[in-house]
Chains A and B, each alone.
Chain A
Amino acid sequence: MTPIFATKTSSSIRSLAGLFLVWSILLSSLGSGLSAQTREQTLPEPGAKSSESAFRAETVKVAGGSEIVTIFARRTYFDGPMQGPVSDIPMVSVLRDTLGDDIPENDRLRYVWMLTHTRATFGQKLSALVPFLYTRTFNKNEIGTDPPPAILDLNSSDKKLWNGVFWEVFKRLLFNDVGLGIKASALQYRQNDADYRRSGIAAAAALLSLYQEIEGEKVLSERELKDIQARLFLTEKPFGMLMQSENLGRVYDGETSKTRDYRGRNWELLRQYSEAQGLYFDPLLMPDGSARHAMVWVAVSDLKANKGRKFEKRFLNFKNPWTDSSLLDWKGHSEVRWYDADDREVDADTPNAHPKTLIPLALYGLDHPKVPAILIDFRNNGNPKTREISRRILNDVTGNVFSMSQLSGMPFFLGRFVYDFVTGRRGADLNQASRLRSYAQLKLLISLDESLDPEFKNEIADRVESATLNPLQNDADVELRLAKAQYENLMAYAADPNGLPKKIDNDRREEMSKLKHSGKVRALHALGHLFSFGRYTHREKATPELVAQMDTRRQLEFHERFLREVAFTSADPAIDSESEQLKRSLDFVSRNGATAQEKTTRALAKIFAISKDEDIQTLCVTGLYRINNSSAKKELLAIYNNSVLPDRWRSISGRYLRRALEERQRISVRDAKLIANIAAN
């Protein structure tokens, strides 16, 4: 097995490295790729796969034309320097609705399950109701036979938005009249539930980003992986669920770039501040050079030399080690490392190497905005937890007890604004969502590790658990066990005709209502759904015609997305775009695009304008004719009226306009008159 941290060789590093096993296994096997398999409803066989793959992916067919893609983290057991057996842990499953064919254009990604994420037990729920109870209470021991809860429905819908609005209204109408205890409990529960889901989403995003790093064939395409991650990112945004599909690539690019910015900046901040305070910065390096966590250590020899030295606490966020007598008599973990004359860490047997005994002070998450988030303070467990609680308690007291919000009045608004501004500007690591993400990542890594020095692993794991605020959370070992059980349940659910296949059928029938009803009618359906608390959902009866229409509609959406992306980015498709795919998409729209959206008509008009390829231009004009909306005809009319264009375009567009008028397509009154004149001439 490749050493986990290529540049570090001491036993202590090996033990720390174990903490990040998944990352390292994954990244050290870059190039060895993945193992992917397709099977018909059979369960994976742990231990039977190549030990060189970091992940194994599996596709399981589901009756009715869907498939579940599951990503397993490949886990290697270590026995000292010897590599031991390998087992696979199911981590993330994604449902892909293929409509039972091989046409990728009509595939829909639907549900994402983070298999470590479970439904809470009654005890956990009760704990979650207790106001100001900021600690984990019980583990979920039995998973039962229920399928796991999906952490995300990728179907872009505004349900979440409306649920949010409905909740706010509900809260304001009812909660002011109930007792403080009930109100605080209910709000506490809701917050815990949201945070728990947020942790699961963060873990899923982290895992998918690791899977994406691996070279080789994948069961999820690059585009699918980006789309899922983008949708996961967008769960944090108020209008994220409304994001149009053609922008998902931009969302993914922006978010990954932002996270890497944070990581690099935090890496450097922590190095500089450790250096300035005479401490040792220890990025937990992956073979590709990236690090999402880092440790800060102090050398025992420096403790005496620097006794009483002034300490700048800012950003490091732990107490002065130079005045801490407990470090002089440290009983916790410590390790010896060897350094050369340039202070570069080397093997112990390197000539002239000198040893230093180091004591861990803190472990940080580097993906936190602006500053590294202290996740473990090895001298004071309460420190990260206090930071974890600080903003939460402020929110809970003001929101849950006093019912104050930003809109409650100017003094509160200003006070909150100033507080948020100053803490944000100065870089306090109090961003709850980001801290949750950092913990989720760290926890994921600990869960999957089997090689870590048991003592140090237990210490880190215990400290992470003790920092957890959420009663709904399970501990790392339990989550791992539950993940396997949840996977089994998911497979059983998929195999049960009344289980997942039925749910997919319901989803499709709901999707069909868009094909059959106008926007106004659908709005009424949505209101019904809202006021029945989700009990009523309008669905159509699946007929062969509607299934065929749904197939076409899905393909059309796929092609519309592609055309919009090209229109947004291209200066001339012949030079900078996939010409053949462009022609395929245009051809599809020109044949089946009657219901294409208005934005697509603008895309077609733009592609027509920037393209010099006559085939592409012809398909654009035909597409504008095919799309049955007034905007398409307006664009066609603009082409007809453009005197700079060659006559043939005027002739073709004129012909199409006349035909559209004859076919009584949707055309504005003004344009219809103009077209009638064309017809008359």
Chain B
Amino acid sequence: MGYEELFPTNDLNGWHANAAKRFASPFVDNYHDRIDVDPIILSNAAVQCGFTIRDFYEKPELGIHCVGYISELFDLLPVTHWFFSLPWVRELGLTLVYKDTLPPVSTGPIYEPTAEGIESMRVIEKEELMKGTTIPLYFGLYDYVQKNLPHTLVPISYGFDLVGAPAEFVGVENFIMWTFTEPDLAHKVVDTFVETSINGADVLSDKYGMAMLIVGSVLANNDIFADEQVEEFSAKKMGYYVDQCFRKGAGPQVFYHLCGNHETSYKVFKDNLMWSPFNVLHIGYKGSKDFPADLLKKEFQDVTTCMGSVDTKLMINPNPKVVYERSKECLLAGRDAKKGFILGTACETPPYTIPGNLLAMTRAARDFGTYGTW
């Protein structure tokens, strides 16, 4: 039995048709219905359908079908996604293991943290990627969606996380130290990963004629690095990654995810990222608070659709009213952003997110999520 036999078809003419029109609206200035809600639902979708976190990652087709199916319940996005933060690393030599409560994790560094140690590290070319694990995984995933959930298909290539993923090759602590003591070596490690990720986007856009790009600054945040290092090792590399992917035919859709605390480092991204007609910028936190939507709007509304943040901690707190009130604040502060606004959680909504809290976000979007001019 295929996974598709486990799920009824989405309500295509009702829910999906409306959600698709709404999803497009902030990008084409054709406002429809209300501001969209994107709690970055991943393994929570599997949990809500009765499966496990491990199922979500070990069985990508099942995982993505859960996302497509459960999105209708909370009137979320009409498109599907499935990912974890370590694409392309197996081709570069890392071993990943599946866990019961986590996305796949690395078994540990594979290079000695010395110049000689990383000498053999090299970019993986397109032909080799085809024989690796990431490309077959994405091909299998998107072919499944094309066949069974074609209304939700967006081929996505992940560059995610251009600093955190390569740091795994030499050990995260060693990498962080290198950014101070041996920046050239830190650059080599990052650049090898970035170029490999670009080749991956090239393969995907060759097959699907386009590929949305999702790229983040996760390890590179203000809890770890100063603004200068975030700019040098993350913002500039993200801009380069997107530019090169565009040169190879990927894009123009880009989702920029600045994860964790970007207290002051948010300032280094505007001038370094590549802004396209269809991009979304999402910032998790400013200090320990979810990133203020009014600041996000003020800084970035000229160049991108903005995605506001509701603290993910609230999503597992049995208090939907708090989620509703926080969503309301976020919507009122951001809803009139010039190039559109989306209500999000600060990062992936936790696997055991309380359904009532997801409903609270959607309820708030229905109550306050107009574009400010209606």
Do chains A and B interact in one complex?
no
